[in-house]
């Protein structure tokens, strides 16, 4: 009986150590990411919901991808004549304990000068750079519309 208790004690100790060594849950994350199909030499755009689960604000500063000549953060808006326009935006503020949606007609990650075709069903790798948090590399699925 005494031996069994000892075993349980060791097991609990090991579990405790394992739990303490687990990486912390990501402070910044992205969900529901998707990017539009595109052709080599053309452009595409990626969208997602960025979540900041921290108690302090951060900001999306820039993005990069090996699959495009350049990557910019853009904001789409309607001009006085009803024409859709877009302009560079950012840094994108990510307030504490909140999420920010990048979506068609609003904020998006502009993929300029695609190096290869982006076909539905494929993916594109994009890395997001934040003011404080570590960079976030996403494998973004190519699809016609939001997931």
The least distance separating Cu ion from the CB of residue 60, rounded to whole angstroms, comes to 15
Measured from the CB atom, the residue of 37 and 57 that comes closer to Cu ion is 37
Q: What residues numbered 88-117 form the site for Cu ion, per CB under 5 A?
A: 110
What residue is closest to Cu ion based on CB?
Answer: 74
Is residue 74 at the binding interface for Cu ion, with CB under 5 A as the rule? Answer: yes
Least distance from Cu ion to the Cβ atom of residue 15, Å: 49
Measured CA to CA, the distance from residue 128 to residue 90 in angstroms comes to 12
Query: Site size for Cu ion, by CB under 5 A?
Result: 3
**Shortest Cβ 108–Cu ion spacing (Å):** 6
Closest approach, Cβ 103 to Cu ion, in A, equals 12
Return residues touching Cu ion (CB under 5 A). 74, 86, 110
């Amino acid at each position: 009986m005494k031996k069994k208790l000892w075993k349980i004690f060791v097991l609990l100790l090991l579990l405790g150590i394992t739990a303490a060594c687990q990486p912390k849950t990501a402070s910044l994350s992205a969900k529901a990411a998707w990017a539009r199909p595109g052709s080599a030499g053309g452009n595409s755009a990626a969208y997602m919901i960025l979540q900041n689960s921290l108690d302090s604000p951060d900001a999306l500063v820039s993005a990069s991808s090996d699959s495009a000549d350049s990557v910019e953060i853009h904001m789409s808006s309607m001009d006085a004549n009803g024409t859709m326009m877009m302009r560079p935006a950012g840094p994108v503020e990510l307030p504490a304990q909140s999420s920010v949606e990048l979506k068609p007609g609003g904020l998006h990650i502009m993929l300029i000068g695609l190096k290869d075709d982006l076909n539905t069903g494929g993916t594109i790798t994009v890395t997001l750079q934040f003011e404080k948090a570590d960079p976030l590399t996403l494998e973004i699925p190519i699809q016609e519309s939001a997931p």
